Amino acid sequence: MAVEYNKRTHRCASLRSADVGQTVTLAGWVNSYRDHGGMVFIDLRDHEGITQCKFNPQTDPKAHEIARALRNEDVIAIRGDVATRGDNINPKLPTGEVEVEIREVDLLAKSEPVPFEVSDHVEASEELRLKYRYLDMRRPKMQKILRLRHKLAKTIRDFFDEEGFVEIETPCLTKSTPEGARDYLVPSRVQPGNFFALPQSPQIFKQLFMIAGFDRYAQIVRCFRDEDLRGNRQPEFTQLDMEMAFVRRDEVMDVVDKCVSRIFRNVLEIDLKLPLPRMSYFEAMDRFGVDRPDTRFGLELQDITEIAKKTEFSIFQKAIEAGGIVKCIVVPGGESLTRKVTDGLAEEVKGIGGGGMPITKITAKDGGVACTTGVAKFVQPVVDELCKATGAKAGDAIVFMPGSYRDVCKYLHHLRTRLAEITCVIPENCWDILWVVDFPLVDWDEDEKRWNSMHHPFTAPMEEDVHLMDSDPGKVRSEAYDLVLNGEEMAGGSVRIHRREVQKKVFELLNISEEEAKLRFTHLMDALTYGAPPHGGIAFGLDRWVMKVAGVDSIREVIAYPKTQRAVCPLTDAPSLIDSKQLQELGIDLRPEVKAKLEDKP
Contact region with ligand ASP (CB under 6 A), list: 11-19, 246-254, 418-426, 486-494: 486-494
> Interface residues for ligand ASP in 203-232 (CB under 6 A)?
203
Residue 453 touching ligand ASP (CB under 6 A) = no
Burial of 368 (0-12, 13-18, 19+ CB in 10 A): exposed
Least separation in angstroms between residue 206's CB and ligand ASP is 7
d(CA 514, CA 508): 8
Min. distance of Cβ 494 from ligand ASP in angstroms? Answer: 5
Q: Which of 392, 539, 542, 555 binds ligand ASP (CB under 6 A)?
A: 539
- Taking the least distance from each CB to ligand ASP, the nearer of 179 and 300 is 179
Rounded to 5 degrees, φ, ψ at 370 are -145, 160
Alpha carbon separation from 559 to 137, 480, 544, 564, 568 (Å, rounded): 11, 29, 10, 11, 14
Q: What is the Cα 34 distance to its own chain's centre?
A: 42
Helix or strand run (H / E) with residue 445: strand 442-445
Q: Least CB distance from residue 309 to ligand ASP, whole Å?
A: 42
Packing angle, helices 140-162 and 249-263, rounded to 10:
140
H helical segments located in 264-335:
281-288, 305-309, 314-321
Binding status of residue 179 toward ligand ASP by CB under 6 A: yes
Options 375-383, 399-407, 436-444, 536-544: segment touching ligand ASP (CB under 6 A): 536-544
Q: Smallest gap, in angstroms, from Cβ of residue 207 to ligand ASP? A: 9
Smaller CB separation from ligand ASP, 71 or 523: 523
User: How many Cα atoms occupy the beta-carbon half-sphere of 308 within 13 Å?
Assistant: 27
Largest CA distance in the chain: 94
Which of 95, 232, 234, 494 binds ligand ASP (CB under 6 A)? It is 494
Least Cβ distance, residue 254 to ligand ASP (angstroms): 16
Dist CA 88 CA 550 (whole Å): 33
The C-alpha atoms of residue 262 and residue 316 are separated, in whole angstroms, by 49
Q: Which amino acid is at 11?
A: R
Cβ 202 to ligand ASP shortest distance, Å: 8
Smallest distance, ligand ASP to C-beta of residue 441, A: 14
Q: Tell me if residue 261 falls in helix, strand or coil.
A: helix
Q: Are 399 and 329 in contact (CB under 8 A)?
A: yes
What 3-state class would DSSP assign to 319? helix
Residue 159: CB minimum distance to ligand ASP, A: 17
Give yes or no for residue 408 binding ligand ASP (CB under 6 A): no
**Candidates 328-336, 392-400, 427-435, 491-499; binding stretch for ligand ASP (CB under 6 A):** 491-499
Stretch that binds ligand ASP, among 53-61, 402-410, 537-545, 566-574 (CB under 6 A): 537-545
d(CA 9, CA 512): 65
Residue 201 engages ligand ASP in binding (rule: CB under 6 A): yes
Size of the site for ligand ASP (CB under 6 A): 9
Smallest gap from Cβ 492 to ligand ASP, in A, equals 5
Q: In the complex, which residue's CB is closest to ligand ASP? A: 201
If one asks whether residue 245 binds ligand ASP (CB under 6 A), the answer comes out as no
Which one of 118, 146, 512, 538 is in contact with ligand ASP (CB under 6 A)? 538
Residue 525 CB burial class (10 angstroms; 0-12, 13-18, ≥19): middle
Among 492, 520, 542, 563, binds ligand ASP (CB under 6 A): 492
537 scored as a contact of ligand ASP (CB under 6 A): yes
Amino acid making up residue 145: I
Give the x-and-dash track for 122-161 against ligand ASP (CB under 6 A).
----------------------------------------
Our CB check for ligand ASP shows the closer of 51 and 494 to be 494
Among positions 289, 358, 374, 493, the unique one binding ligand ASP when judged by CB under 6 A: 493
478 binds ligand ASP (CB under 6 A): no
**Minimum distance from CB of 225 to ligand ASP (Å)?**
9
Q: Which stretch binds ligand ASP (CB under 6 A): 39-47, 272-280, 487-495, 515-523?
A: 487-495
What is the smallest separation between the CB atom of 548 and ligand ASP, expressed in angstroms? 17
Q: CB within 8 A of 31, min separation 6: which ones?
A: 42, 43, 44, 45, 50, 72, 118
Instruction: Quote the least distance from Cβ 528 to ligand ASP, whole Å.
Output: 17
- Give dist(CA 304, CA 437) in Å, integer: 26
Collapsed DSSP state (helix, strand, coil) of residue 438: coil
276/264 Cα distance (integer angstroms): 13
Looking at 1-9, 81-89, 311-319, 531-539, which segment touches ligand ASP (CB under 6 A)?
Answer: 531-539
Dihedral of the CA atoms 283, 286, 288, 293 (nearest 10)? 30
Q: What is the SS3 assignment for 144-194?
A: HHHHHHHHHHHHHHHHHHHCCCECCCCCCCECCCCCCCCCCEEECCCCCCC
Binding site for ligand ASP (CB under 6 A): 179, 201, 203, 492-494, 537-539
